[in-house]
Amino acid sequence: MIIAVIGASSCSAEEADLAETVGELLAQNGATIICGGLSGVMEAVCRGAKSKSGLTVGVLPGEDSSMANPWIDIPIATGIGYARNMAVVKSAQAVIAIGGNYGTLSEMAYALKRGIPIIGLNTWSLSRNGREVDVIIRVNNAIEAVDKAVSLAKKGKGEMNPTELAQAIAKGIPSKLGEGVDIEPKPTKQYLSIYANGKLLLWLFICKGHVTVGKPTISKKGNTTSEKIMRVTGERDISIALEEIKKLYLERNS
């Protein structure tokens, strides 16, 4: 189990304390920690992990492995600068973000694009068209952050089969859109048609190994067809899919 911990190379004392505790708890849960390998949050989480005999990996932006902080067991010198942020998060099954500057924000974007869950401690919030997008799992302390990250990492991607994924998405739509929206799923053998207040909102196509979320659109020939919104390949993608569905509903009812 690999958990990425991300945050700024220069952080507050409070953030450093949080990161160190997160590192200790992750090590006690048997997780390998991967981070950017430098100072600040990265150094604090590694220090905490090593105090409990945990394993730490640092993906460094430069070519000199000696630049890693003293608590890194496995330094990986890349020489690719901030592009190494992608490798940090995509190597993990879950991400814990503590504080952070723009580099942390880029790592969060890479994780979200890949469908890797992010647990946030005093970190960035995201919005689209003036509305907050709650794709980051907010927690209040290090214990909650580690419990959630470990739980999600153990579940892993693809635990649910495509039919179960489609059913889980359909089940989550009513609470995501709120009271007063009548949601009716109409199943066929290969897809679910989702109606909102009697109007077709989207389709959930059950494919081999994944679910495709598609919205109705009109082709050049004037026929109703589907435009892909996203592919859902595992349980951790469901919250992102629900956000996209909420966005589609609001656009069509604005």
CATH 3.30.160 residue ranges of the chain are: 162-252
List Cβ neighbours of 164 (8 Å cut-off, separation of 6 or more).
none
Please tell me the predicted confidence (pLDDT) of residue 172.
Answer: 93
Looking at per-residue confidence, does 220 or 111 come out higher? 111
Percent of the chain topping pLDDT 90: 71
Give the relative orientation of helices 142-155 and 13-28 as an angle to the nearest 10 degrees: 40
The 10s digit of each residue's pLDDT in 126-146 is 888 888 777 899 999 999 999
Does pLDDT of 76 surpass 90?
yes
Q: Which fold, 2-155? A: Rossmann fold (3.40.50)
Do residues 149 and 94 lie in contact, with contact meaning Cβ atoms separated by under 8 Å? yes
Residue 78 — very low, low, confident or very high, per pLDDT cuts 50/70/90?
very high
Identify the CATH assignment for 162-252 out of 3.30.160, 3.40.630, 2.40.128, 3.30.70: 3.30.160
**Average pLDDT value over all residues in the chain:** 91
Structure confidence by residue, pLDDT tens digits, 108-118: 999 988 888 99
Instruction: Determine the pLDDT at residue 11.
Output: 93
pLDDT in tens, 137-180: 999 999 999 999 988 887 754 457 888 899 999 999 999 998 88
Which pLDDT value is given to residue 159? Answer: 58
Within the chain, all domains assigned CATH 3.40.50.450 are found at 2-155
Tens of pLDDT, residues 171-216: 999 999 988 899 999 988 789 999 999 999 999 999 888 899 999 9
CA 133, chain centre distance (Å):
12
**pLDDT more than 70, % of the chain:** 98
Q: List Cβ<8 Å contacts ≥24 apart for 46-51.
A: 46/71, 46/72, 47/20, 47/23, 47/71, 48/19, 48/20, 48/21, 48/22, 48/23, 48/24, 49/23, 49/24, 50/23, 51/20, 51/23, 51/24, 51/27
